Chain A
Amino acid sequence: DGGITQSPKYLFRKEGQNVTLSCEQNLNHDAMYWYRQDPGQGLRLIYYSQIVNDFQKGDIAEGYSVSREKKESFPLTVTSAQKNPTAFYLCASSHRDRPSWGYTFGSGTRLTVV
């Protein structure tokens, strides 16, 4: 079955550490996205990529970095510059030319600073 796989499901980060969240899709979607969700809030866009080797900053990119070396993969690194990283992170993908197909979301990674 096609879908998006995020790992790990839970992640704990110490102060000053960089951590990387994985997002893999086998839907043959062109575009991939990272969103952050804080408790009781909506989703905010961190980074997005429409094609391989290209990506754009979203609304809250500071303290995060991404890469898009393969169509299937869009990992997100939370750097030590992100001062308040505790949140629920969701990865999504879509087909650029098929808006009616909508956006598919992964199951999420819950990141906690310890």
Chain B
Amino acid sequence: ELKVEQNPLFLSMQEGKNYTIYCNYSTTSDRLYWYRQDPGKSLESLFVLLSNGAVKQEGRLMASLDTKARLSTLHITAAVHDLSATYFCAVDAGTGTASKLTFGTGTRLQVTL
């Protein structure tokens, strides 16, 4: 059974600081997704990582994937208050008819002034 673990579960950081969220998973996969969720809202897609060594950047967020270590990171550079949200990683370890996402528990990010 695929397990997806995120840490930390909660992160309080000051504006302007850098930090990294980690996502570990237990089964071989080269398809990993990052999402953002605002309170009471649905999921917003941030990054799609589909190969070992993949790196994607959008604004102050950068995501990477190491399939050998079964690890993805979401790095936040010079945080701003607007980045406050819950961030989820999700792994698709299936193929064809078995494709489905397994989610981590989420990291709640709070950026303070």
Contact = CB atoms under 8 A, between A and B. Distances in A.
Contacts of A104: 45
A48 interface: yes
Interface of B: 31, 33, 35, 41-43, 45, 48, 50, 88, 90, 92, 96-97, 99-106, 108
Contacts of A64: none
Contacts of A44: 103
B102 A96 contact: no
What is the predominant secondary structure among interface residues of chain A facing chain B? strand
Interface of A: 31, 33, 35, 40-45, 48, 50-51, 58, 90, 92, 94, 96, 99-108
**Which 7 pairs across A and B sit closest by C-beta, in order of nearness?**
A42-B103, A43-B103, A50-B97, A105-B43, A42-B105, A102-B48, A107-B42
